[in-house]
Amino acid sequence: MSTEVLRFAPSPTGGFHVGNARTALYNYLYARHYGATLKLRVEDTDRDRNTDAALDTILDGLAWMGIEYDGEPVFQSKNEPAHREAVDQLLTSGAAYRCYADAQELEEIRKQAQKDKRGARFPAATPKEVEQHVANGVNPVVYFRIPPGETTWNDRIRGGSQWDNDVIGDFVIQRSDGTPTYNLAVAVDDHNMGVTFVLRGADHISNTPKQIMLCRALGWDVPQYGHSTLLLGSDGGKLGKRHGATTVTEYREQGYLSSALFNFLALLGWAPGDGREVFSPDELVESFKAEGLLKKDAIFDEAKLLWLNGEHIRTMTGEALLPMAATAWVASGLLEERELESRKPELLRIVAMMQPRVERLSDFEHARYFFVEPDHFDEKALKKHWKTDTPDRLAQYVERLRALDEFDEGVVEGATRTLAGELGLSASKLIHPTRLALCGVSFGPGLFELMEVMGKDTCLRRLDRALAVLPTEQHVS
């Protein structure tokens, strides 16, 4: 077992974005592969934006994806006494200072710093000024005093990294209302939670030197840091709504499997080194190596996610897939829950026939023709397969089927090909219009297996109906 401690630290201010899910996933893979500890910290100090619904979304998303953490969640809002204690320590040591400058003065200082191409420094209040403001009930903003020189660290993914401290400038660690800012709270919480390795996205790189400086000023050990790639849309821009669904919840609702999203996100910034692309979660834990984490930004390719989802669906057993397919059928009104057990053998056959063609769980709704008669017939298919002589051929076919004592796949296929031979036709001249009459479309599983599952009575009824309602005059064959 490793002594390393990692953390995933989401903010409950919105949906569980796929970028956050990938960060959680990498921390999980690292912790489980190397035997490290993974903790969950909920950064809930933004009282105006935090919601219980957002927290539930994050926790549900983690559970759905199978991303487990160790122990109970830590809520950052409960750590404010430790945050204030750290600020007091920094003030006492001189690493931080109080500032009472007004907004206009602060803005002028920032503008001048920009002109000088350096970080801003703000006026530190003298002890006498502090005393006067305290007497008047005015609270200060507390700034961290940037030390001279550079802040360097060896990034576990990107290698040697350094920032010129003078470019960063002094930054707020406590607001005038006494609440801590992000970087102060993170540094304190990471220390108190015993975090040794911070694995997160590249969008946090600019926070790293600030957190390192805070740890050093407080006399604490500095965690190791690793910054993974950014997630980009297909156009190379920041991943957003215009690229489609962006939250775990949305992908779940669209019919994606958790294992497929798990697999897909793992490959957005990590490579196994052998070109393999399809993994189960357990296989990813076993294969994961920190050395495989990449520096190049990753493109969120929806087409690849869809392909992976189909691959994962095809690895499932029918027993495992049936409840998911049934959920789609019940939701679309094709099936009632009370029918699931009594029709299970039939439903398992339908699942097996659909499975090779399904890319999302919602695609099982395309199997509606197994449950209800078609209410319309595809126009293109009619023009292609319903010719002038089709009704006469199908009428003969119906009588041949009606005479069958057995109605399994082999018997139906034999009867079909025998009649086609007697009529001097290719079997497709019977197969295509039959499928159209039974299903309303020209595509789907193998016709003869489909007919066996539908049953003789249903097939005869639908063929008779098609002959009655479809036009007898179509394009000449």
Residue range 104-119, pLDDT digits in tens: 999 999 999 999 999 9
Q: Which helix (H) or strand (E) holds 163?
A: strand 159-164
Tokens of 281: 């979660």
Q: Which residue has the tokens 């639908």?
A: 462
Residue range 32-45, pLDDT digits in tens: 999 999 999 999 98
Q: Given a cut of 70, is residue 140 above it in pLDDT? A: yes
Residue range 368-411, pLDDT digits in tens: 999 999 989 999 999 999 999 999 999 999 999 999 999 999 99
Predicted local confidence at residue 475, as pLDDT: 45
CB-CB neighbours of 358 under 10 Å: 22
Closest CA to 200 of 170, 240, 231: 231
Distances (CA, A) of 103 to 108, 141, 190, 307, 376: 9, 11, 32, 53, 68
Closest CA to 230 of 2, 369, 28, 23: 23
Query: Please, which contacts does 89-93 make with residues 24 or more away whose CB atoms are closer than 8 Å?
Result: 89/218, 90/142, 90/144, 90/173, 90/214, 90/217, 90/218, 91/142, 93/217
Quote the percentage of the chain above a pLDDT of 90.
92
Partners of residue 41 on adjacent β-strands: 74
Confidence of residue 477 (pLDDT cuts 50, 70, 90): very low
Predicted local confidence at residue 239, as pLDDT: 81
Quote the pTM value. 0.91
Residue range 53-107, pLDDT digits in tens: 999 999 999 999 999 999 999 999 999 999 999 999 999 999 999 999 999 999 9
| Interatomic CA distance for residues 66 and 52, integer angstroms | 21
Quote the percentage of the chain above a pLDDT of 70.
97
SS3 225: strand
Catalytic: which of 78, 241, 344, 383?
241
Cβ within 8 Å of residue 130, ≥6 positions away: 98, 140
Q: Given a cut of 90, is residue 2 above it in pLDDT? A: no
| Interatomic CA distance for residues 353 and 234, integer angstroms | 33
CB-CB neighbours of 127 under 10 Å: 8
| Interatomic CA distance for residues 10 and 24, integer angstroms | 9
| Interatomic CA distance for residues 463 and 457, integer angstroms | 10
Predicted local confidence at residue 235, as pLDDT: 81
Please list the alpha-helical segments (H only) found in 356-425.
Answer: 379-385, 390-402, 409-423
In the residue annotation, 241 being an active-site residue is answered as yes
SS3 155: strand
Task: Sort residue 18 into left (φ over 0), alpha (ψ -120 to 50) or beta.
Answer: alpha
Q: Which residues of 135-154 are buried (b: 16+ CB within 10 A; e: fewer)?
A: eeeeebbbbbbbeeeebebe
Q: Which residue has the tokens 């197969």?
A: 431
| Interatomic CA distance for residues 446 and 210, integer angstroms | 63
User: In this structure, are residues 366 and 441 in contact, taking their beta carbons and an 8 Å threshold?
Assistant: no
Distance of CA 437 to the CA centre of its chain: 40
Cβ within 8 Å of residue 472, ≥6 positions away: 388, 391
User: In this structure, are residues 237 and 299 in contact, taking their beta carbons and an 8 Å threshold?
Assistant: no
Residue range 281-323, pLDDT digits in tens: 999 999 999 999 999 999 999 999 999 999 999 999 999 999 9
Residue 13 CB burial class (10 angstroms; 0-12, 13-18, ≥19): middle
CB-CB neighbours of 111 under 10 Å: 11
Tokens of 7: 């953390």
Residue range 413-451, pLDDT digits in tens: 999 999 999 999 999 999 999 999 999 999 999 999 999
* 476 vs 51 pLDDT, higher one: 51
Residue range 227-269, pLDDT digits in tens: 999 999 888 888 876 666 789 999 999 999 999 999 999 999 9
Confidence of residue 167 (pLDDT cuts 50, 70, 90): very high
Predicted local confidence at residue 476, as pLDDT: 39
Confidence of residue 463 (pLDDT cuts 50, 70, 90): very high
